[in-house]
A and B are shown apart, each in its own frame.
Chain A
Amino acid sequence: EPEVTQTPSHQVTQMGQEVILRCVPISNHLYFYWYRQILGQKVEFLVSFYNNEISEKSEIFDDQFSVERPDGSNFTLKIRSTKLEDSAMYFCASSKGQALEAFFGQGTRLTVV
């Protein structure tokens, strides 16, 4: 069964460093998303991406964050100058259409020290 895959599963980084989280969405899906979940809190929307551009972003997704689809399969989230409060699980998701079911990856646990 097709699935969304994310790498790495766990990333530890020092405060101030840049990280890139990688995702391979389901191959025939057209809409891509990043969500995050701080420990013990809700899953929160960060950004959606369609047709090589951002469709919508939340107030969390400030200039520190960027997304890219560098080739036909990967979808990345870059966090510049990480802060302690960026520590969270980051989930990538994809869907066939904008109002259709979203399928989530296993997540990347980011720990900023």
Chain B
Amino acid sequence: TQLLEQSPQFLSIQEGENLTVYCNSSSVFSSLQWYRQEPGEGPVLLVTVVTGGEVKKLKRLTFQFGDARKDSSLHITAAQPGDTGLYLCAGLDSGGSNYKLTFGKGTLLTVNP
């Protein structure tokens, strides 16, 4: 069973600070997706990383896929209260089926004004 561990589980920071959250696994994934989830709603896709070492930027968010495709990070620059939410990483199975995502438990980010 593939597992994705996300850290930290909770993060509370002040507006304007930078932060990094991590997504780690002992398994290789063919791709990794980052989602943001608001309470009572579905996950909203932010980005997909596919190639080992890949870096993608989405405004103030920077996503990186590890060289070995086992881990990823999300860095937010100058966080804003609107960034508050649950950030989930989800890996697409590399060795077997391509049909399912394995999710981490998420990092709950609170950005205080």
Is B82 in the interface zone, CB < 8 Å from A? Answer: no
Partner among A58, A105, A107 whose Cβ is within 8 Å of the Cβ of B100: A58
The reply to whether A102 and B101 form a contact with Cβ atoms under 8 Å apart is yes
Interface class of chain A by DSSP: strand
Number of interface residues of B (CB under 8 A): 24
Is A109 in the interface zone, CB < 8 Å from B? Answer: yes
The reply to whether A101 and B42 form a contact with Cβ atoms under 8 Å apart is no
The reply to whether B100 and A33 form a contact with Cβ atoms under 8 Å apart is yes
B79 to chain A, nearest CB (A): 24
The reply to whether B98 and A98 form a contact with Cβ atoms under 8 Å apart is yes
Is B30 in the interface zone, CB < 8 Å from A? Answer: yes
The reply to whether A107 and B41 form a contact with Cβ atoms under 8 Å apart is yes
Is A104 in the interface zone, CB < 8 Å from B? Answer: yes
B residues engaging A (CB < 8 A)? 30-31, 33, 35, 40-45, 48, 88, 90, 92, 97-106
Partner among A4, A45, A106 whose Cβ is within 8 Å of the Cβ of B101: A45
A residues engaging B (CB < 8 A)? 4, 6, 31, 33, 35, 41-45, 48, 50, 55-56, 58, 89, 91, 98-107, 109
- The distance in angstroms between the C-alpha atoms of A6 and B31, with both chains bound, is 26
The reply to whether B99 and A105 form a contact with Cβ atoms under 8 Å apart is no
The reply to whether B43 and A43 form a contact with Cβ atoms under 8 Å apart is yes
Given known contacts A42-B103, A44-B103, A107 and B97 CB-to-CB distance under 8 angstroms: no
A-side contacts of B88, CB under 8 Å: 43
